Amino acid sequence: MVEKDTLMNASFLGLNVTTDQGRKRTWTPSRKERANEQVYQSSRWVPLIKDIMEDAIDDKLDQKHFPFLSGRQMNPTYRAPTSARYGQWHKERGHQTSYRCGPRLIVFVVGGVTYSEMRAAYEVTKEKKPWEIVIGSDQLITPTS
pLDDT value at residue 16: 72
**Radius of gyration for the alpha carbons in the chain, expressed in angstroms and rounded:** 19
Angle at alpha carbon of residue 64, lines to 63 and 67, rounded to 5°: 60
Q: Which of 38-42, 51-55, 86-90 has the lowest mean pLDDT?
A: 38-42
Question: What are the φ/ψ torsions at residue 69 (nearest 5 degrees)?
Answer: -100, 0
pLDDT value at residue 76: 54
pLDDT value at residue 132: 93
Q: Which domains does the chain have, with CATH numbers?
A: 41-69+100-145 (3.40.50.1910)
User: Is it the case that residue 57 has pLDDT exceeding 70?
Assistant: yes
Average pLDDT, the chain: 77
Contact in structure between 132 and 103 (CB atoms under 8 Å): yes
pLDDT greater at residue 88 or residue 12 = 12
- Rounded mean pLDDT of 46-65? 88
* Residue 1, C-beta contacts closer than 8 angstroms, at least 6 positions apart: none
pLDDT band at 3, cuts 50/70/90? confident
Digit-coded pLDDT (tens) for 59-103: 888 887 887 775 555 555 556 666 666 666 666 665 555 556 788
Whole-angstrom Cα distance, residue 63 to residue 69?
A: 7
**Closest by alpha carbon to 46, among 60, 36, 56, 58?**
36
pLDDT band at 119, cuts 50/70/90? very high
DSSP 100: -
